[in-house]
Amino acid sequence: MRTRYPKSLDNLYKVWLYCRRIKFVNLLSKLLLHTEHFFLIDSQQIRRLKEKLSQRVGKVAFH
């Protein structure tokens, strides 16, 4: 049986996970932008991928 944490601590952990996820997506989008410069990937493809990512993570990730 696992120990129950205080509710506030649990919420804090969720927020931390969410922030990590957003940070990851931002990193990924930066990486995509760099690859776009180097390999001249179709910008439409990248936009589509970004949309997929933002839908999965939430609209907060891309401003």
Amino acid present at 31 = L
Query: Does the structure show a pLDDT above 50 at 3?
Result: yes
Residue 61 included in any domain: yes
Which residue has tokens 């804090």? 12
Residue 11 included in any domain: no
Residue 38 included in any domain: yes
**Predicted pLDDT of residue 4:** 61
Residue 43 included in any domain: yes
Residue 54 included in any domain: yes
Contact call for residues 57 and 25 (beta carbons, < 8 A): yes
Residue 40 included in any domain: yes
Residue 60: domain span: 26-63
In angstroms, the CA 29 to CA 15 distance is 21
CB-CB neighbours of 18 under 10 Å: 14
Residue 5 included in any domain: no
Domain count, the chain: 1
Contact call for residues 60 and 22 (beta carbons, < 8 A): yes
**Predicted pLDDT of residue 61:** 46
10-59 per-position pLDDT tens digit = 777 777 778 787 787 777 777 777 665 555 556 677 677 777 777 766 65
Residue 46 included in any domain: yes
